[in-house]
Amino acid sequence: MEGARDRTRVDAPLKVAGLAPYADEHVQEGALHLAPVLATVALGRITRIDDEAARAVPGVRLVLTHENAPRIAPTLPTLTVLRRSRVRYRGEIVAAVVADSAEQARYAASLLRVDYAPEQAATRPDPEGEDVRELRRVMAIYPGRYRDGDVDGALAGATHRVEGTYTTPTNHHHPIEPHAVTALWHHGAGRLSGPRTTRLTLWDTNQGVIAPQGVIAGAFGLLPTQVEVVSPYIGGSFGTKGVPHPHTMATVMAAKLLPGHPVKVALTRPQMSAGTGYRPPTTQRVALAADADGRLTAIDHQVYAPVSRVIPWMDPTAGPTLSMYASSTRRTAYRTQDLDIAPGTFMRAPGEYTGMFALETAMDELAHATGVDPVELRLRNEPGADPESGRPWSSRHVTTCLTEGARIFGFEQQRRRRREGEWWIGQGVAAASFPQMSMGPSLARVTFADERYVVSMQASDIGTGARTVLAQIAAQALGVPEDAVDARIGTTDAPAAIIAGGSTGTFGWGSAVVEAAHAFRTEHGEHPEEGATARARTRMPQGVRGVTRMAFGAHFAEVAVSEVSGKVRVRRMYGHFDGGRIMNPRTARSQFIGGMTMGISGALFEESYRDPRFGHVVNGDLAGYHVAAHADVVDLEVGWVGEPDPWMGATGAKGIGEVGIVGVPAAIGNAVFDATGVRLRELPFTPGRVLEAWEAAEGRGA
């Protein structure tokens, strides 16, 4: 399969015109509005709910509490809301008000009086606390402890050794479209002709309709086919919409008590920060040892992160350390602490984003300790095979990303401390990687109708351009013009498919589309009849488990640092990537640029502050949580290798949605060091932290 041509996104005209309906914009006659009520204690028990004033508000249809909520079957711990009087974290949904308008619902919710019997809650993380425990597994996939060789001995006898503590904060996703859902239970003749007829419809914003369909069906005793989920357009996610959250469950409960009435909710930013997941904070200890030539002899990566008692979500932060560089010894370990806080979840490049910040900053420190150019240091430590498993790479072009990227960017790191007025100028580099995991097979269907080809599957376009690219893949496989193919996605009446997550969409869904197109041609030939159809599933090459599949990249940054304010400005940035075959240059560039923009935002601004006394996020809105704006992102450009990976299925494409963010904070931090001599090991690089570190360095005579 050849790479597809550069094509404008097919959904762009509708979105620009405001005609693409998002979850809260599907017009349903007689829709009611739900306003959640959140717990104001971190741990305890509800002793009394006074709803008299709330019920007296005109337009109120229902006050939903644990006393009248429908019973549900056991489900995900995060979704067991309104089942009992127990409060597990501050911000948990303890009640909800449904009214004719959103304003009435919110006002009535503000009048609801909830009394608690608070209990002593553990909300303050402490990496040295007595209750810190070691993990055996992370995400049930990765080893909690890994050791290869005598790490301590290699560190003790090293010619060069660097070590440091690196910290990353809590981050929240904040997609442009907030979490929203509308639920409608169907009753009466015409919709209940049999047990498999749809009984519940959800208009939802998610990363894949299969997740809410399965979870909600199981909780309410329905068959999956009795739950219809409609999600044609999604306004971003970054991981927060990968699984259903408590507000979805509360809305379905309320709609069940109000049959025939659609019930809808669109969360506010503070409500999203309270209960729809986040990137957990980390404290990481990294030690590197190298010989006189800068070749690694030991890598030690220790990770601490607090987790919620509800679901102990922890990112595989040390994962990339096991496979990025060659070393004769390696060790990783995870420690955690159970707290009475809301659960975290996956956020763009979960683990790689935080882990590679620590590893790539440490590599820069090693480069300066050894006197080896930072690009050359990485080249000297290129592994011939996966260091963790010993398996060969499906493809690995890190060397090209580093050398070609350095050439295009004009990378020159010589610590010249160039100055322009109050601004000190520097450059930095960091490598990036992201595993190409399998999340299971997907199904695709190709149908010929009205002289057009329609490819259908439960894929989700969360802003990546999937709708456009899937149609392109189908057109090429069918041998027809691209404008003769439509993609129908985001609905449960299409063939089942994996969610949009883990950078698996293009190669996972795309393989199924190619197989379905080939099946269609085999069954119906070049001149199909009206209604002709064929379907097939994802097919990966035999022996794929015998290779390690990863996407790679290299980030180059130039920054200016003010000696007056401590402000860091990213003046320009370039990324060069190994993403396999590029299916659409336009959408690929958008993904890479988007990842780099998000990385700049995380490096310079994003930090959620959790009050250690009460366990809640105090800056849970876009006024207190700054996301990079146009003025913060000036000159970004990307390039890629473009060589197909034969082990990635029919498309030869690797996932690119996450690798673009991975090395950005380290590249920026390394550039700050190049400019100022100040080493920053804590994200984000705020002016206060920069000035504090600068003053400390000057005090030591740096």
CA gap 431, 162 in Å, rounded: 18
Q: In sequence order, which residues have a C-beta less than 8 Å from that of residue 41 and are 6 or more positions away?
A: 87, 90, 116, 118, 121, 614
**Residue 30 neighbours by CB distance under 10 Å:** 10
Catalytic residue (one of 658, 682, 692, 695): 658
CA gap 236, 179 in Å, rounded: 10
Using an 8 Å Cβ cutoff, are 490 and 230 in contact? Answer: yes
SS3 300: strand
Residue 71 CA, chain-centre distance (Å), reads 32
Helix axes 466-478, 505-524, angle to 10 degrees: 30
Tell me the CA distances in angstroms from 502 to 497, 505, 654, one per residue in order. 14, 8, 11
What tokens were used for 509? 């869904």
Annotation says 658 is catalytic: yes
Residue 421 DSSP one-character state: T
What tokens were used for 81? 């809301």
Using an 8 Å Cβ cutoff, are 273 and 280 in contact? Answer: no
Residue 544 DSSP one-character state: G
Give the closest residue to 254 by CA, choosing from 493, 35, 496, 9: 35
Amino acid at 284: Q
**Residue 565 neighbours by CB distance under 10 Å:** 12
Amino acid at 308: S
Strands (E), 480-583: 485-488, 533-537, 550-562, 568-578
Residues involved in catalysis? 658
